[in-house]
Amino acid sequence: MKRLALLLVAASLCLTACGSATGVDAGATVTTTLATPAAPVTPTVAGTAVNLTAFKKVFYGETAGAQYSFNLQGLDSSGNSWTGSYAVIADGPNFQTVSSVPAANALPLYRSRSLATLQQSGGNPFSSSTLKYFLVSDCSISSFYDSSNSAFLPVSQSAPLPDSAKVGDSGTLVSLKQAYTTDPSTIDVSWTLTPDFNGGANLVLTSTLNAPATGVDTEVDSYTLNANGVPTMLTVHIINRHQASAVLNLILTGPADNLVRTIF
C-alpha cells in the first residue's frame, strides 16, 4: 500500500513539474471537458404518493408475458457467500377455478409464477418455484402452491395492494393455510411502503410461516421502486429458514434485469 501511495504522489508531481501542466506546448489551446455533475439525491418524504400499477401487473399476473427478474448476491450470518436469482412472471387471465366446478360457474383467474435459485459458495445450487392464482374480479388470492406443489388456501384476506399508496402506508394481505391436511401451520403476508430517494420507495412484503413443529420462519422481500413505481432493486432477507436442521439468516440483494421490455 505504501508503495502504491508513493507512485500516486510521483504521478501528481509529474503533472505539475514536467514542462507544462498538460504536457502540451504552453501556447497551445487546451479544451477542458467538465464531468457531468451527479444528480442530487433527495430522500422521499412520508406521504409521497407512489404508483403501484406497474408492480401489480406482474405480481398479480395481470399482463401475460410481463415479468421482473433480479440477480442476487449476499452473505449469511456465518459469513458464507451466496448467489442467486429471482423472477416473477405473469401468465395473464387464462385460468379458471378448480376443475370440479362446472365450467359455467368457473371463475376466471390471473396466475403468476415465482422462480428462485440459490447457491452457497462451494455448494450445489437449489431451485424452487411457486404458483399464485388471483380472482380477475378483484385480485383476491384464490390459491397458492409452494415448490413441493402443496396447496394453500386463504383463511382470511384483506384488500389487495392498491393502485397507488403513500410512503408510510401499510396493511395485511392474506393468511393462508395448507389445504387437505390437519397441519395448523399458516402463512401470513403483509406489506408496507417505506421511503427511498428521489420520489421512489421500498415496497416491503413480509411472509411469516407460523409452524408449530418448526417455529417461525420469515422472508422479507423489499422491492426498491423508482418514481414511476417500477422495481429497480430487490433485497431478500430470509430469517430462521430451516435448512438441513440449521437456522439460516441470509440477506441477498441485486439489481433488476430487463424491466423495460417486460413491464410496459
Share of the chain above pLDDT 70, in %: 77
pLDDT in tens, 35-46: 566 668 899 999
CA 254, chain centre distance (Å)? 8
Q: pLDDT value at position 189?
A: 96
Instruction: Indicate whether 195 belongs to any domain.
Output: yes
Looking up residue 95, the CATH number of its domain turns out to be 2.40.128
Tell whether 26 is covered by a domain: no
More confident residue, 205 or 27: 205
H or E stretch including 57? helix 53-59
Q: Is the pLDDT of residue 175 over 90?
A: yes
Residue-wise pLDDT for 46-79, tens only, equals: 999 999 999 999 999 999 999 999 999 999 989 9
Q: What domain count does the chain have? A: 1
Distances (CA, A) of 63 to 59, 119, 173: 10, 30, 21
pLDDT of residue 61: 96
Instruction: State the pLDDT at residue 105.
Output: 63
**Tens-place pLDDT, residues 178-232:** 998 888 889 999 999 999 999 999 999 999 988 887 778 899 999 999 999 999 9
Is residue 212 situated within a structural domain? yes
- In-domain check, residue 112: yes
pLDDT given at position 107: 86
Q: What is the pLDDT of residue 75?
A: 95
For residue 102, tell me if it sits in a domain: yes
- Model confidence over 108-160: pLDDT tens digits? 999 999 999 999 999 999 899 999 999 999 999 999 998 888 899 999 999 99
What value does the mean pLDDT of the chain take? 82
Domain of residue 160: give its range: 49-263
Q: What is the pTM of this model?
A: 0.80
Cα–Cα nearest to 132, from 111, 118, 148, 117: 111
Give domain status of residue 40, yes or no. no
Please report which confidence band the pLDDT of residue 165 belongs to, taking 50, 70 and 90 as the band edges: very high
Cα–Cα dist 174/99, whole Å: 24
The answer to whether residues 12 and 18 touch, using CB atoms and an 8 Å cutoff, is no
The answer to the question of residue 67 being in a domain is yes
Q: Which residues contact 32 (CB under 8 A, 6 or more apart)?
A: none
237 in a structural domain? yes
